[in-house]
Chain A
Amino acid sequence: MIHCEDVLKSFGDKNVLNGINLDIEEGQIFGLLGPSGAGKTTLIKILTNQLIFDSGNVKVMGKPVNKLTGEDKKKIGIMMDSFGLYERLSCNDNLKIFADIYGISHSCISEILNYVGLGEAGKRAASKLSKGMQARLKLARVFMHNPKIIFLDEPTSGLDPQSMKAIHKLILEKKNMGCTIFLTTHNMEEAAALCDNVALLNEGRIVECGVPEEICRKYNHQKTLSMHLASGEEIELPHNKEAAEKIFELLKKGMVETIHSSEPNLETVFLEITGRKLEEA
C-alpha cells in the first residue's frame, strides 16, 4: 500500500532523511517512532506529496506519489498536527465543507460526529471546543469520506489520557474496517498499543523496524525475571533451571506477589540503539 525506497531529503546542508526504506501492507497500522526532529513529519509530508524528496522512490496505492490523481487523493485521509479547523464555523459546518468537496451527503455528518463522540457538539463553534474535542473533529474530517489510507501525524500529541484513549479506540476501529494507517508518534505506549509494525527513526535513518513485541524480544539481553515477594523483598533471577526451581518453591509457598520478565520496551530499545530517549525534545 505504501512503499518507500532509498528516500533522501535534505534542507540545505542538513540531511533530514537518509535512505528510508519502508513497505506497508494493506490493513495494518504502521507506527513511525522517533524523537522530535527525527524526520517523522518530513516523511509523512513526502508520503502525502506535500513535500518533494531529493531522490528515491515513493509509491502509494501502487502509484508514484506525485502521479496520484484527484480520485486517488480522495482515498487518502490526512491529519497533521498543524492542520487547522475553521474556528468560527460550527462542527457541522466544518464537516459540511468537506462533505461537499468529497461529494458526500450531509446526512452522514451527524453520524460521523456521533462516531467520534461529538454528537452533542454539532452546533458549537470549533473555537469553543477543547483540544481533545478539536482533535476528534479533525479525525471526523479525516474519516468522513472513508479513506483507504489514513496518515496521522502525532494524533494524540498534547492530549489528556482520556481523549488519547478515545482516539486510540477510533483508530483501531478504522483498522478493523480495513484501513491502512500510517501514524507518527514519540509515545512508545501508543505505538505498542496500536501498531502492527513500527519503525524507529533517528536522525533521518530507520534504526529498527518490525513487530513491536519481536523488537522488544530481540533486544532482551538480560533475560531475567524480577519478583516482588510478600516479605517486601525484590529479587531478580536468570532464565535457568535453578531459577525455575526457586520460582516454583516460592510460588508453592505463596510468597510471590508480582513476577515480571525483563524484556525491554520500545523506549529502552530506542535508548539502547541510539543513546537517546524517544520523548527527548
Chain B
Amino acid sequence: MRNSLIIIKKQLKDTLKNRTILIQFILFPIMTLVMENAIRIEGMPELFFTKLFSVMYIGMAPLTSVAAIISEEKEKNTLRVMMMANVKPLQYLLGVGIYVWTICMIGAGVMATGFRGRDILTYMCFMGVGFVISIVAGACVGIFSTSQMSATSLVMPAMMVLSFAPMLSMFNERIARISQIFYTQQLRICLDTLSLDSIEKETYIVMAVNIVILMVLFCITYKHKGLE
C-alpha cells in the first residue's frame, strides 16, 4: 500500500503540471456550475445539466486520464524504472486508480452542489460506481497501448460512445435502445430517478455484464501485455 500512496502523491504533483489531464478533471464540474446557474428554460427538468454532464464526466474523465497516465509512463519508460525499483504492477495500477477515482469524486462533489440531503449521497454512489467501471476501461486501453498516440486513438471512440450515447438517446429512440447496453446509459437512468429503490432489474444486469466484460478484458490485456 505504501508504494500505491507514493504513486498517488506523484500523480497529484504531476497533474498540477499536466494541463491535458487537469482539464479532464475540472472541465465538467465547472461547466455544470456555470450552466446550472446561467441557463434557466421553462419546463427544463430540475438539475438537467448536472445529470447530463455527470454521465459525460463518468464516460470521459476517468477513461481518458487513466489511459493517458499509463500509456505515457509506458512510452517514456518511467514505468519500467518503477518496476525495477520493486513497485509491483498492481500497486501501481491501484495507485493510479485510487488517485483518479478520488479526484473524480471531488469533481462529482462539486457537481453535486445542486442536490439536497440524501440525494447527494445517492448521487455520489452512482458516480463512484461509474468512475470505477471507467477506470477499469481506461486501464485496459493504457495497458494495451504502447504509446500515448495509440492510447488516444483507442480511447476516443470508446469515450465518444460512452459519453455521448446517453445524451443523444434523449433525442433519438433508436440510439436510446442501443445505448441501453452501456453502463453510462444505465447510470443516466439511475441519475434521473436518483433513488436506489427504483433501480430496475435490467440496470443491475447491464451493469454487471459491463463490469464482467471489462474485468475479463482487463485480465486478458494484463496477461498478454503486462505493464512493461
Q: Which residues on A are within 8 Å of B, measured CB to CB? A: 48, 50, 70, 73-74, 76, 78, 80, 82-89, 93, 97-98, 100-102, 125, 141
Please tell me if the beta carbons of B85 and A84 are within 8 angstroms of each other in the complex: no
- Chain A residues with Cβ below 8 Å from B84 are 48, 50, 73, 76, 78
- Chain A residues with Cβ below 8 Å from B14 are 86, 88-89
Please tell me if the beta carbons of A97 and B228 are within 8 angstroms of each other in the complex: no
- Chain A residues with Cβ below 8 Å from B86 are 70, 73-74, 101
Q: A70-B86, A101-B86 are in contact. Are A83 and B6 (CB under 8 A)?
A: no
Q: A84-B76, A88-B18, A89-B17 are in contact. Are A98 and B10 (CB under 8 A)?
A: no
- Chain A residues with Cβ below 8 Å from B17 are 88-89, 125
Chain B, residues 62-77, CB within 8 Å of chain A (1/0): the string is 0000000000000011
Question: Whole-angstrom distance between the alpha carbons of A78 and B228 in the complex?
Answer: 16
Question: B interface, by DSSP: helix, strand, loop or mixed?
Answer: helix
* Nearest CB in chain B: distance from A47 CB, A: 12
Question: Whole-angstrom distance between the alpha carbons of A85 and B82 in the complex?
Answer: 11
Please tell me if the beta carbons of B78 and A86 are within 8 angstroms of each other in the complex: yes
Among B3, B78, B228, chain A packs the most CB atoms within 10 A around the CB of B78
Please tell me if the beta carbons of A93 and B13 are within 8 angstroms of each other in the complex: yes
B220 on the interface (CB 8 Å rule)? no
B81 on the interface (CB 8 Å rule)? yes
* Nearest CB in chain B: distance from A167 CB, A: 18
Residues 1-40 of B contacting A (Cβ, < 8 Å): 2-3, 6, 9-10, 13-14, 17-18
Q: Which residues on B are within 8 Å of A, measured CB to CB? A: 2-3, 6, 9-10, 13-14, 17-18, 76-78, 80-82, 84-87, 228
Question: Whole-angstrom distance between the alpha carbons of A88 and B73 in the complex?
Answer: 12
- Chain A residues with Cβ below 8 Å from B82 are 101
Provide 11 A-B residue pairs closer than 8 Å at the C-beta atoms, listed in order of the A residue. A50-B84, A73-B85, A80-B77, A84-B76, A85-B76, A86-B14, A87-B76, A88-B18, A89-B13, A89-B14, A97-B10
Known pairs A88-B17, A89-B13, A101-B85. 18 more at Cβ < 8 A? A74-B85, A76-B84, A78-B84, A80-B77, A80-B80, A83-B81, A84-B81, A86-B10, A86-B78, A89-B10, A89-B14, A89-B17, A93-B13, A97-B10, A100-B6, A100-B9, A101-B82, A141-B81
Please tell me if the beta carbons of B76 and A50 are within 8 angstroms of each other in the complex: no
Please tell me if the beta carbons of A82 and B77 are within 8 angstroms of each other in the complex: yes
- Chain A residues with Cβ below 8 Å from B78 are 83-86
Question: Whole-angstrom distance between the alpha carbons of A82 and B74 in the complex?
Answer: 11
* Nearest CB in chain A: distance from B85 CB, A: 5
Question: Whole-angstrom distance between the alpha carbons of A41 and B107 in the complex?
Answer: 45
- Chain A residues with Cβ below 8 Å from B6 are 97, 100-101
Question: Whole-angstrom distance between the alpha carbons of A141 and B84 in the complex?
Answer: 12
- Chain B residues with Cβ below 8 Å from A78 are 81, 84
Complex: chain A residue closest to B16, CB-CB: A88
* Nearest CB in chain B: distance from A183 CB, A: 17
Please tell me if the beta carbons of A98 and B77 are within 8 angstroms of each other in the complex: no
Question: Whole-angstrom distance between the alpha carbons of A86 and B85 in the complex?
Answer: 15
* Nearest CB in chain B: distance from A79 CB, A: 9
The 6 lowest CB-CB distance pairs between A and B, nearest first, are: A84-B76, A88-B17, A70-B86, A100-B6, A73-B86, A84-B77
Question: Whole-angstrom distance between the alpha carbons of A132 and B146 in the complex?
Answer: 27
Question: Whole-angstrom distance between the alpha carbons of A116 and B30 in the complex?
Answer: 44
- Chain B residues with Cβ below 8 Å from A48 are 84
Question: Whole-angstrom distance between the alpha carbons of A89 and B82 in the complex?
Answer: 15
Contact partner of A83 among B13, B77, B87, CB < 8 A?
Answer: B77
- Chain B residues with Cβ below 8 Å from A141 are 81
- Chain A residues with Cβ below 8 Å from B76 are 84-85, 87
Please tell me if the beta carbons of A50 and B228 are within 8 angstroms of each other in the complex: yes
- Chain A residues with Cβ below 8 Å from B2 are 100
Complex: chain B residue closest to A84, CB-CB: B76
- Chain B residues with Cβ below 8 Å from A82 are 77, 80
* Nearest CB in chain A: distance from B44 CB, A: 41
Question: Whole-angstrom distance between the alpha carbons of A125 and B86 in the complex?
Answer: 25
* Nearest CB in chain A: distance from B74 CB, A: 10
* Nearest CB in chain A: distance from B224 CB, A: 15
Question: Whole-angstrom distance between the alpha carbons of A18 and B71 in the complex?
Answer: 34
Please tell me if the beta carbons of B10 and A50 are within 8 angstroms of each other in the complex: no
Please tell me if the beta carbons of A98 and B85 are within 8 angstroms of each other in the complex: yes
Complex: chain B residue closest to A68, CB-CB: B86
* Nearest CB in chain A: distance from B15 CB, A: 9
Question: Whole-angstrom distance between the alpha carbons of A83 and B95 in the complex?
Answer: 21
Question: Whole-angstrom distance between the alpha carbons of A48 and B82 in the complex?
Answer: 13
Question: Whole-angstrom distance between the alpha carbons of A254 and B14 in the complex?
Answer: 68
* Nearest CB in chain A: distance from B17 CB, A: 4
